Structure 1
Amino acid sequence: MAYHLKGAPSILLAMQNPQDILQHVFGYHDFRGQQERIVNAVIEGQDALVLMPTGGGKSLCYQIPALARPGTGIVISPLIALMQDQVTALRELGVRAGFLNSTLAWPDVVDTERALLDGELDLLYIAPERLIQPRTLDLLHQANIALFAIDEAHCVAQWGHDFRADYLRLDLLHNEFPQVPRIALTATADMRTREEIIERLQLEEARQFIVGFDRPNIQYRVQQKDNPRRQLLGFLKDEYPQQAGIVYCLSRKKVEQTAEWLQKEGFNALPYHAGLPGNLRETHQSRFLREDGIIMVATIAFGMGIDKPDVRFVAHLDLPKSIEAYYQETGRAGRDGQPATALLLYGLEDVVKLRQMMGASEGNDQFKRQEQQRLSAMLGLCEVTSCRRQILLRYFGDTLDEPCGNCDTCLTPPQTWDATEAVQKALSCVYRTGQRFGATHIVDVLRGSSNEKVLAQGHDKLSTYGIGQDMSADEWRAVLRQLVAAGYLDVDPEGFGGLQLTESCRPILRGEQRVHLRRDIRTRKPTSTRTARRPDADITEADRPLWEALRACRRRLAEEHGVPPYVIFHDVTLRDMLERRPQTPGELLDVSGVGDSKLERFGADFLEVLQGTPEAVEHAQ
């Protein structure tokens, strides 16, 4: 096995105070937000449900109690591919960590199980499918367990966007180990999902910690699809050349085609979806975590639990199914707190495709209704003319008193127009064509097209034929898209995407209600005080040689230890070094992110750079 399970640093054996563990193990001087309250509750033996945004420091909420309480902290994680990276990062901090999953050879399984029973592990990561096996439960009953941490707890939601069937069995923890505290954590859960987590994990008595969902460093943008490849290419070249990001697509085929196209355009892009061989997925994920400037083109199979802090953008080329999925996926950008962008391109065809997928789902009627409601909320976020962040936070029960100033609708307020007459024409055309045709046909009829389909259906004889020639096809598609988003039109989920009137459109057709829509303007970048630039663009020319030398030192150590550079130190830590210019081990320990173990392992290397002459700094690069 690649991990040495013995030889814990003596400092861990002596520490039980959470503040000491925070500082000496993790290198941070202060807890953030509600972290300290959560940590203390679990140390005291209480159960907890924690909702905290990605990058908010969820892992510390169970890692510190696991180190402070007697025994081993058991972490249930659905992501086998990431366990080794998480364990490796902990070992760099001097924490005795291991994992049990299907990737281990039998001798390594035995070695890890022995270490658990002998009290040689502080944290043990276990895949849920292994946890529920009788052999594993018997093993845990013999061990001294400090706590159970259920990571990505929203996976228990049976009809959620990241459902894992094995999570439904995790209620056994309450029954089999009633005296062991449990902490369930997730970054994404609306009220309905929270209730399901509580019910299925039997956390009715747990303390709930709902931390604010806002990620103010992420700039949210939504654009209508208008040649998506051209839009994505412009976005990448203008704003994020040679920087790490994720591009999400709905289908595996589109993932592979998009990755291949980006490679031809000069980007270091890799595909990732569940249909690729496991070893290839693992290779691509490892490259994304360890190399700079990789773009991962993926389905939703990729991303949960990704700890890479310097993902600068997340782009969606297809509409997510829900705000929860959108928030979860965009949250993988900017974990380091630096500016990041979430770009979403969507069109009416996305709505049709998702509605058809929902109609073909094996779920019951209640599930289908809930999915439709979630999709409608997602569409509402796309079409809103006010601050997107306020709408996004409100969905999760959070509030933002003032517009954020960092989303496209704040930076470039959309134009609106009185579309009542156009809407009446569109609704009438949908009705007179029989409420069974898609948007393309409706637009053709409105604009008076004489194509074969219009003539074959006899729709050139309708009163609505040609009444919309004053508007372009794109303008009519925008009207229909917004009518679907607003609930005035529905998409037949069991047919071929036919548009249908809803009850809410009656007042409009009767002339009792006016409708204002947003005026689509072909792709434009929002006017922003934050222009596209390198994340380190604020570093002065005088400081840049030392900055690059620190990065080079980190890169060398990462290669030597076989870990991603951010496992050695985050950029935030290097910036703090650059500002403080520590010259002694004691001064280096005051830098954010430098704990005792990393000081011992890496301190001399970084101090050599920090103490060096200009010639030495230049040589380090």
Structure 2
Amino acid sequence: MLIEKAEKLLNELFGYPSFRKGQQEVIEKVLAGKRVLGIMPTGGGKSLCYQIPSMLLDGVTVVISPLISLMKDQVDEVREAGVQATYINSSLSNNEVQQRLKHLQDGKYTLLYLAPERLENTFFRYQMRDVPVSLIAIDEAHCISQWGHDFRPSYLHIPDFLRFIGEKVGVLALTATATPQVADDIRAALTIKGEDQVKTGFKRTNLCFSVVKGQHKDTYLIDYLKKHKGQSGIVYATTRKEVERLYEQMRHENLRVEKYHGGMETEEKEAGQERFVHDDSDIMIATNAFGMGINKSNVRFVLHAQMPRNIEAYYQEAGRAGRDGAKSECILLFSPGDVQTHQFLIEQSQLEHIRKEKEYNKLRQMINYCHTEDCLQRYILTYFGENSTEPCGMCLSCTDDRQETDVTIEAQKVLSCVKRMRERYGKTLVAQVLTGSSSEKLRKLGLHTLSTFGVMKEKSQKEVYQFIDFLLAHEYLYLPDGAYPVLKLTHKSAEVLRGQREVKRKEWMHAKDVTREHPLFEELKSVRRETAKKNQVPPYIIFSDQTLLDMCAFLPQKEEEMMQIKGVGAKKMEAYGEEFLKTLQSYKQSEHEMKKG
């Protein structure tokens, strides 16, 4: 059976004893010739769902991907596993494209990575008709939906290309970030049946999510990056200017840092990315232009210096951390100014009215994420349509030991004020009324005569504004869609006003120090770095951080024991295993001698 051959390839070439959740179901459907939609989290092993079939199907597997800056790394990685692969995108000359097409037609490759923009070229389409295509895999499939966070017009050419190539060709759409509406769009565009959607869930059990508020961002970043020196991480910033500023600041702190944004020359971006991927630099400071352009599995932390515009973008960028399965951190540094920046960008955009309304709604859900005190991962899963009742037990909200404070009276003051203002005004005016502002606008509107005017005058407008955000995040209030939404009461707020429900809030929390790594882990990382340089490949391609951690835990002493470690297949053992085994044997021997002494 084909699936048994697939399991054998998984073990021998990739070093995994069994498929992850969802992988086998997707591969079985693909090998049966069905059109399939796979929704799996980043790091969930989506690429294996087309890499393994590419070696079992007759013909070429075409992977349509927007990640042009990534294609070379992806091709290098699968070649290491024994797959004959190539790519075609705008970085190649016409002669190079024609040569690769000829090799594809001659059956020299089984896997082709293709940029979606190439499908707009009619001549190229006709040339592809001479390539024996067996499967078309669409990576980042959410880009096909106009309601997705990263819609790409070039993806709209994919359905026409599928019809052009022929009905018998298999189709596999893959994404890590699809709300129920986006998933419906993908299936409709690619004619995928509902029963052929495989959704493994969005949960990333190795990621620890945090939101940091009320701290000086630069101070926090410098402190964090120094504590995590030697670990790989990404710092996302909203603008090119902010990337440049943080880059210069971190260089001044003698941190090994790179930068990446759309205003840089291609050569400069590629050189920085190469140093980061090869562990010659620890930190990449980037805009969302770097959002999907990274195939590095040992990223231990992702920090957002500003809040992204929506949950989809945040989860995809944060998901760059821990793709090897090892524990990693995702920290968002929030300040109210982030909200104003995004509101301005949405208002100034050329989007149609209905799209703007959607963007405002997504922004509000992102803001609520920053203010919720419930489990952060559960909040994200709920956004993507998963009814998760169990807290993750890892995020900031789940692990903090702060005391809860009863803020029911303060909540009643805010809710009562919203009610007396007849639910016709936004956060700013409500906060001004509560703090007793002398604003002329309040007097013109007659709002200074309300009984709730000045009932929270001991607090600043900023504090009240943040408290309103807390009430919004926990659905004591809500904001309808629109550029200038007004505060509305909910059924929960009615219970609070009647004294039937308590409102509790936690105090601020401070960041904690990171624990030191296992000394053997550092030694194995050094061996990996040297092996990678010798073989001219990125270190994560040799072995992932999680594989090295498993070596530390189990201390294999023989080749057959090494082969039991997840991520060490026969091919990798033959190519790289000897030096790692020597290091493990030496460590075990010194440990034994210390015990004897």
Q: TM-score scaled by structure 2?
A: 0.86
Provide the rounded CA distance (Å) in 1 between the counterparts of 2:388 and 2:495.
36
Greater Cα shift, 88-97 or 315-324: 315-324
CA distance in 2 between partners of 1:589 and 1:329 (Å): 33
Q: Residue 407 of structure 2 aligns with which residue?
A: 417
Query: Residues 313-368 of structure 1: CA distance to partner in whole angstroms, max 9, x if unpaired?
Result: 12222222222222212111111222211112223333333233333332223322
The reply on whether 1:363 has 2:351 as its aligned counterpart is: yes
Q: Distance in 2 between matches of 1:382 and 1:548?
A: 35
Do the aligned residues in 2 keep the contact of 1:358 with 1:368 (CA within 8 Å)? yes
CA deviations 1:466-491 (Å, max 9, x no partner) are 55332245422322433555584759
1:78 and 2:78 aligned: no
Distance 1:167 1:150 in 2: 9
Match of 1:334 in 2: 322
Deviations 1:394-444 (A, max 9, x none): 222324343222122222265441123541586489889x958x84x8767
Deviation string, structure 1 residues 52-74 (Cα, Å, up to 9, x no partner): 11111111011001111111111
**Is the 8 Å Cα contact of residues 47 and 205 (structure 1) preserved in structure 2?**
no
Once the two structures are superposed, residues 528-577 of structure 1 have per-residue CA deviations (whole angstroms, 9 ceiling, x without a partner) of xxx6224xx2x3x6xx3xx5554333212211232210111212333444
Distance 2:339 2:129 in 1: 49
Query: In 2, distance between residues paired with 1:15 and 1:190?
Result: 30
Matched, 1:158 2:183: no
Give CA deviations for 1:569-611 in whole Å, capped at 9, x if unaligned: 2123334445565566555444432334333433444455556
Is the alpha carbon distance of 1:557 and 1:105 closer, same or farther for their aligned partners in structure 2, counting shifts above 3 Å? farther
- Out of 366, 379, 395, the position equivalent to 1:378 is 366
Which of residues 214, 222, 227 is equivalent to 2:211?
222
Output the CA distance in 2 between the equivalents of 1:343 and 1:64.
34
| CA 1:386–1:493: 2 relative to 1, 3 Å | closer
**Deviations for 1:206-262, whole angstroms, at most 9, x for unmatched residues?**
711000211122111123243222333343345x23322222222222222222222
Paired residue for 1:232? Answer: 221
Please say if 1:524 is aligned against 2:498: no
- 2:116 corresponds to 1:128: yes
SS in 2 for 1:349: helix
8 Å contact kept, 1:226–1:523:
no
Gaps of 5+ in 1: 1-13
Root-mean-square deviation over aligned CA pairs: 3.6
Contact 2:361–2:481 at 8 Å: present in 1 too? no
Code of the residue aligned with 1:309 in structure 2: it is S
Contact 2:496 2:503 in 1 (8 A): no
CA distance in 2, matches of 1:579, 1:594: 15
Matching residue within 184, 209, 212 for 2:201? 212
- Deviation per CA, 1:265-314: give whole Å up to 9, x if none: 33223322222222222222222211155222222221315221221112
Instruction: Indicate which of 317, 321, 334 corresponds to 2:305.
Output: 317
Report 1:135-146 matches (<5 A).
135-146=123-134
* Structure 1 residue aligned with 2:528: 554
1:151-300 correspondence runs (5 A): 151-176=139-164, 177-204=166-193, 207-238=196-227, 240-291=228-279, 294-300=282-288
Q: Which residue in the other structure is 1:9 paired with?
A: none
Letter paired with 2:530? R
Deviates more, 1:472-481 or 1:192-201: 472-481
| Of 545, 553, 573, the match for 2:547 | 573
Identity of aligned residues (%): 36
1:194/1:260 Cα in 2 relative to 1: closer, same or farther (>3 Å)? same
* Aligned CA distance change for structure 1 residues 549 and 271 (closer, same or farther; 3 Å): closer
Q: Does 1:405 align with 2:393?
A: yes
Q: What runs of 5+ residues in structure 2 fail to find an aligned partner?
A: 592-597
Within a 5 Å distance, the mapping from 1:452-463 to structure 2 comes to 462-463=448-449
Does the 8 Å contact 2:258/2:281 carry over to 1? Answer: no
What are the within-5 Å matches in structure 2 for residues 560-599 of structure 1? 560-578=534-552, 587-599=561-573
Question: Partners of 1:460 and 1:524 in 2: how far apart?
Answer: 42
What is the CA–CA distance in structure 2 between the aligned matches of 1:430 and 1:352, rounded to whole Å? 24
Deviates more, 1:339-348 or 1:186-195: 339-348
Q: Does 1:394 align with 2:378?
A: no
Q: How many residues align?
A: 583
* Aligned-partner residue type, residue 284 of structure 1: G
Residues 585-594 or 16-25, more deviating: 585-594
Secondary structure, aligned partner of 2:92 = coil
Residue in 1 aligned with 2:594?
Answer: none
Q: Residue 312 of structure 1 aligns to a residue in which SS?
A: strand
Alpha-carbon distance in 2 for matches of 1:399, 1:30? 27
C-alpha distance in structure 2 between counterparts of 1:613 and 1:190, whole Å: 48
User: What does residue 575 of structure 2 align with?
Assistant: 601
Mean CA deviation greater in 271-280 or 357-366: 357-366
Contact 1:355 1:493 in 2 (8 A): no
Pair 1:340–1:15, CA change in 2 (3 A): closer
Distance in 2, matches of 1:442 and 1:397, equals 32
Kept in 2: contact 1:50–1:186 (CA 8 A): yes
Contact 1:445–1:460 (8 Å) recurs in 2: no
Choose 209-218 or 368-377, whichever is displaced more.
368-377
Question: Which moved further from structure 2: 582-591 or 118-127?
Answer: 582-591
- Tell me the residue number matched to 2:87: 99
Cα distance between partner residues in 1 of 2:72 and 2:115: 12
**Cα–Cα, structure 1 residues 215 and 456, in superposed 2: closer, same or farther, change >3 Å?**
closer
The answer to whether the 8 A contact 2:65-2:114 is kept is: yes
* Contact map agreement 1:311 1:332 (CA 8 A) in 2: yes
554-563 or 573-582, larger mean C-alpha shift: 573-582
